[in-house]
């Protein structure tokens, strides 16, 4: 059955209001808010449908960091659940990493208002990161690995069948360029993946949603946003550089971000150069495989030993 908005409206008696407890009363703002909410629900529902992220009876663990993305994800999934063509449960989970000054009680108070069951996991990863990472170096890599391991373990121990993360379309595009520019790989964040240990399915329901829409929605919903700068770590300098580059492209050529994202869904392996994805040798299957040496010197029929040593230099 379809997750898209048009095909779930028939769920009689299950519609929900797009307004919340702290919404502005101004009519124009309310109309814009309603359009924004519908757009985010439609795009999220479409992503869930396209990648079959959530099925009947799934137990979805929504990871809450305190940022706009995860708050929006929880709010949108909660609204979609009331008119979805299937039944599934939600549980919000926040990992308290004991960062000095982190307002965990503020986060807990907000989660209590959502009506969604939640847990706050208390694990002092902050001390580990501070001990291992030299002063002045970014902590984000180790911090995220520790966090991921703890959340994966929680999911297994509590029977969660899906782990939902708040990454959106812009995150996926930025990661694509980060991997190309700094990692020499053509890869991004998949909307759905199986964890390395094969026990957890990770989903990104906001894959079709833009950061701009999420920012506007979090402002209108007045989420208690908590910035990820309390640990004293440096900004993601490389990601910020990519973000600025993409913003410049979008400003000079509106629609470029959408085009880039569309390219992630239309990959042509035969037009790239990865021999693991496409069998280029099969294109000339009638010919024998020829071993080529550096500098364009073809292997001698008698083997390397018959070639001048100077020509064998690798």
Q: What is the pLDDT of residues 251-266, one digit of tens each?
A: 999 999 999 999 999 9
Whether residue 108 is found in the same domain as residue 73: yes
Closest-CA residue to 177 (of 234, 246, 256): 246
Whether residue 259 is found in the same domain as residue 287: no
Q: Which of 236, 251, 267 is the last residue of a domain?
A: 267
* pLDDT for position 288: 65
Q: How many CB atoms lie within 10 A of CB 167?
A: 24
* pLDDT for position 29: 63
* pLDDT for position 145: 87
Cα 191 versus chain centre, distance: 7
pTM: 0.81
222 backbone φψ class: left, alpha, beta (φ>0; ψ -120 to 50):
left
Whether residue 67 is found in the same domain as residue 17: yes
Whether residue 249 is found in the same domain as residue 297: no
Within the chain, residue ranges assigned H as helices are: 5-8, 27-50, 68-81, 104-114, 125-132, 140-157, 169-178, 211-221, 237-252, 256-264
The model's confidence at residue 135, banded by pLDDT at 50, 70 and 90, is confident
Q: What is the pLDDT of residues 143-198, one digit of tens each?
A: 888 999 999 999 999 999 999 999 999 999 999 999 999 999 999 999 999 988 88
**Cβ–Cβ under 8 Å, residues 91 and 61:** yes
Whether residue 180 is found in the same domain as residue 286: no
Q: What is the spatial distance between Cα 164 and Cα 197, in angstroms, rounded to a whole number?
A: 17
Element (H, E) at 194: strand 192-194
pLDDT at 87 over 50: yes
Whether residue 154 is found in the same domain as residue 228: yes
**Cβ–Cβ under 8 Å, residues 191 and 230:** no
* pLDDT for position 294: 64
What percentage of the chain carries pLDDT values higher than 70? 78
Whether residue 262 is found in the same domain as residue 288: no
The CATH number for 51's domain is 3.40.50.620
State which of 22-26, 128-132, 166-170, 277-281 shows the largest mean pLDDT: 166-170
Whether residue 254 is found in the same domain as residue 279: no
3-state class percentages of the chain: helix first, strand second, coil last, to nearest 5: 45, 10, 45
Whether residue 155 is found in the same domain as residue 290: no
Start-to-end CA span in the chain (Å): 58
Strand pairing of 59-63 and 89-96?
parallel
Element (H, E) at 10: none
Whether residue 74 is found in the same domain as residue 38: yes
Whether residue 298 is found in the same domain as residue 225: no
**Cβ–Cβ under 8 Å, residues 192 and 33:** no
* pLDDT for position 8: 44
Cα 303 versus chain centre, distance: 50
Query: How many domains does the structure of the chain reveal?
Result: 2
Whether residue 150 is found in the same domain as residue 14: yes
Domain containing 283: what range?
275-312
Q: How many CB atoms lie within 10 A of CB 46?
A: 18
């Amino acid at each position: 059955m379809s997750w898209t908005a048009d095909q779930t409206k028939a769920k009689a008696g299950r519609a929900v209001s797009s307004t919340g407890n702290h919404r502005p009363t101004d009519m124009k703002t309310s109309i814009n808010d309603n359009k924004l909410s519908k757009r985010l629900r439609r795009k999220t529902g479409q992503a869930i449908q396209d990648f079959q992220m959530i099925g009947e009876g799934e137990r979805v663990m929504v990871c809450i960091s305190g940022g706009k993305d995860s708050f929006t994800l929880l709010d949108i999934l909660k609204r979609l659940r009331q008119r979805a063509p299937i039944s599934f449960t939600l549980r919000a989970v926040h990992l308290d990493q004991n960062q000095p000054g982190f307002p965990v009680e503020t986060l807990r108070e907000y989660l209590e208002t959502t009506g969604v069951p939640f847990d706050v996991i208390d694990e002092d990863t902050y001390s580990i990161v501070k001990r291992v990472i030299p002063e002045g170096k970014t902590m984000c890599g180790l911090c995220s690995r520790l966090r991921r391991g703890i959340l994966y373990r929680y999911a297994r121990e509590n029977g969660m069948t899906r782990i939902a993360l708040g990454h959106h379309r812009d995150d996926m595009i930025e990661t694509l360029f980060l991997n190309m520019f700094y990692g020499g790989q053509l890869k991004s964040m998949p909307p759905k993946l199986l964890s390395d240990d094969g026990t957890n399915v990770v989903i990104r329901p906001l894959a079709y949603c833009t950061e701009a829409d999420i920012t506007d929605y979090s402002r209108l919903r007045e989420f208690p946003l908590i910035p990820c700068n309390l640990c004293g770590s440096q900004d993601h300098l490389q990601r910020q550089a990519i973000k600025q580059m993409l913003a410049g492209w979008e400003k000079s050529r509106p629609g470029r971000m959408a085009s880039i994202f569309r390219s992630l869904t239309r990959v042509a392996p035969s037009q790239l150069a990865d021999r693991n994805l496409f069998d280029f040798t099969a294109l000339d299957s009638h010919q024998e495989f020829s071993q080529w040496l550096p500098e364009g010197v073809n292997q001698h029929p008698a083997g390397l030993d018959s070639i001048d040593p100077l020509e064998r230099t690798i």
